[in-house]
Structure 1
Amino acid sequence: MSSEAPVVVVVEPETPGNVGTIARAMKNFGFSDLKLVNPPAIDRESEAYGFAGHAREDVLPDAEEVTFDFVVENFHTVGFTAITNEDARRHVRFPFTTPRQLADSLARVETRTALVFGREGTGLSNAELERLDEVCSIPASEEYPVLNLGQAATVALYELRTLTLGRGVEDTQLPDVERERAAEADIDRFYDFFESFLSQIEHRDHKREKTMRMLRRLVGRAHPTEREITTLTGLFRKASERVQPPEKQQ
């Protein structure tokens, strides 16, 4: 993994709100260096600070205004675009990579990289893309592949988060799913209560066997948690207690 996180560059953003949204996404996924090319006026009363969340404390106020030439001359550049309807005969928007592929590629090189996003309405022009080193596109519906600026940056930075947070980033917030499944003894106990309930409402052996087999397959795929299996066990235990055998209902 590169020791220097990529910088995020936004070319001629039209609204302060989108700048704030991008700053917030950067904060979420471990990016901190925001550079703006010909941005609108941004003050602390603008939408930018309203949309930035905790990024209003550092990412946004530390943002640097630069020129497009400065970015091209000082960084390995990756331009983001939704329109990639070209082939090997032209190389303005082709070949292109996806953010996930880009994350794997950049993790293997030591370089100063700039992730370059364009305008809300028109994105990056062909003239600008021609000056960038790589092109990246977010896979989306062929009928409507265009994301707005804030969405595109958020999706891209999420996919690139391993460049800033490391490969073990999921471990910082998500539970260890391999240890969340209930103990097998508890699951077997649930099966016992369910089978007892089933024997009281279904007296055909082949039906009970088929239902138990289906239940095992269902629970096996679901990987229930301890709380889930305890709740289900209690439910069928009470149901079994309340269901009277047919001979006692006469």
Structure 2
Amino acid sequence: MSGAGDAADGASGGHADREFVVVVVEPETPGNIGTIARAMKNFGLTDLKLVDPPEFGRDSEAYGFAGHAREDVLPNAEEVTLAEVVENYHTVGTTAITGEDARRHVRFPFKTPTELRESLATVDTDTALVFGREGTGLNNEELEQLDELISIPANPDYPVMNLGQAATVTLYELRSLFLDEYQLPDVEHERAPESEIERFYEQFSAFLGHAESRDHKRTRSERLIRRLVGRAHPTSKEMTTLTGVFRRATDLIERTDADHSARERADGER
């Protein structure tokens, strides 16, 4: 780890005008340091600061758990004091146990990570995300020094998360602040052309012409299928498949009806 340095280097993600750093106060195990470093790498952060960390080297669990973060995040981790962080950053602390109302100011008010993401989206400020110890988290004295608090919504019977888990969930929820793009495409799929969807509606109507004799039932079914498909945003492949299914069903009904009519005519001629 490097010694404490200037607080304003190492901008992250696609927001060169503001800096986001992760601070871990008195982490107890090297493994959790590595887990947090890996989560940072996943979601676009590189600047890790540690307050009174345990010793860890390249043969420790920290590097074993860090994945590719062993190449940059961990080697460049900086040992600092909480006072230095408070002096140089807008600070956001994390807590599982919160105050329930405004009478308890140390842990209240607090935001969820999603609410924090929304509030920071348009604010130009260097921000430190501060995580506490594995067993006890940040104490009240430390929380009193911080600007904001967040808490991850969890089971009220067991809201306390593992340090690495809490950091991973938080960084995931805030990822749009750090990353301009992801490995996922902008859209999950392309909606089928409207002409293909209309052909499906026509084929479905033809199917109903054979399968449902009551006019009001056919009208309602056509309206319901249009609403259903409209909400589903089907792909071209999905529309082609469904159209083919109903075409074959319609053909089968027509052949069955024709065979039945032929048998009736034959019986009548006897």
Alignment TM-score, normalising by the size of structure 2? 0.80
Matching of residue 195 in structure 1 with residue 191 in structure 2: no
1:8-157 correspondence runs (5 A):
8-157=22-171
Residues 234 and 50 (structure 1 numbering): CA distance in 2 closer, same or farther, change over 3 Å? farther
Taking the aligned partners of 2:63 and 2:247, their CA distance within structure 1 comes to: 55
In structure 1, what is the Cα distance between the partners aligned to 2:115 and 2:24?
21
TM-score normalised by L of structure 1 = 0.86
Moved over 4 A (4+): none
Change (3 A) 1:205 1:104: closer
Aligned to 1:213: 223
The residue type paired with residue 100 of structure 1 is: T
Q: How far apart are residue 33 of structure 1 and its match?
A: 0.1
Superposition CA RMSD, Å: 2.4
Give the match for residue 7 of structure 1: 21
User: CA offset at residue 2 of structure 1?
Assistant: 7.1
Query: Percent identical across equivalent pairs?
Result: 65
DSSP-derived class of the 1:88 partner: coil
Contact 2:99–2:106 (CA under 8 A) maintained in structure 1: no
Name the SS for the 2:178 alignment partner. helix
Distance 1:73 1:229 in 2: 59
Higher Rg: 2
d(CA) in 2 for partners of 1:215, 1:110: 48
**Contact 2:19/2:125 (CA < 8 Å) preserved in 1?**
no
Q: For structure 1, which runs of at least 5 residues remain unmatched after alignment?
A: none
Q: Which residue of 2 aligns with 1:176?
A: 187
Return the alpha-carbon distance in structure 1 between the equivalents of residues 243 and 53 of structure 2.
Answer: 60
Task: Indicate how the Cα distance of structure 1 residues 86 and 49 shifts in structure 2: closer, same or farther if over 3 A, else same.
Answer: same
> Aligned equivalents of 1:105 and 1:213: distance in 2?
42
AA at the equivalent of 1:103 = R
Deviates more, 1:196-205 or 1:185-194: 196-205
The whole-number CA distance in structure 1 between the counterparts of 2:49 and 2:166 is 17
Q: Distance in 2 between matches of 1:101 and 1:34?
A: 23
Give the Cα–Cα distance (whole angstroms) in 1 for the partners of residues 228 and 120 of structure 2.
41
Worse-matched range after superposition: 66-75 or 8-17: 66-75
Determine helix, strand or coil for the equivalent of 1:42.
coil
Amino acid at match of 1:237: R
Question: By how many angstroms is 1:35 displaced?
Answer: 1.0
Q: 1:120 to 1:237 in 2, by over 3 A?
A: same
Contact in 2 for aligned 1:79/1:129 (Cα 8 Å): yes
Which is worse superposed, 139-148 or 223-232? 139-148
Structure 1 match to 2:239:
229
| Further displaced range: 110-119 or 1-10 | 1-10
Which amino acid is 2:135 matched to?
G
Contact 1:5-1:163 within 8 A present in 2 as well: no
- Report what 2:196 is aligned to: 186
8 Å CA contact 1:200–1:245 kept in 2: the answer is: no
Distance 2:187 2:71 in 1: 32
Structure 2 CA distance for aligned equivalents of residues 88 and 62 of structure 1? 40
The unaligned stretches of length 5 or more in structure 2 are: 1-14, 264-270
Q: How many residues align?
A: 246
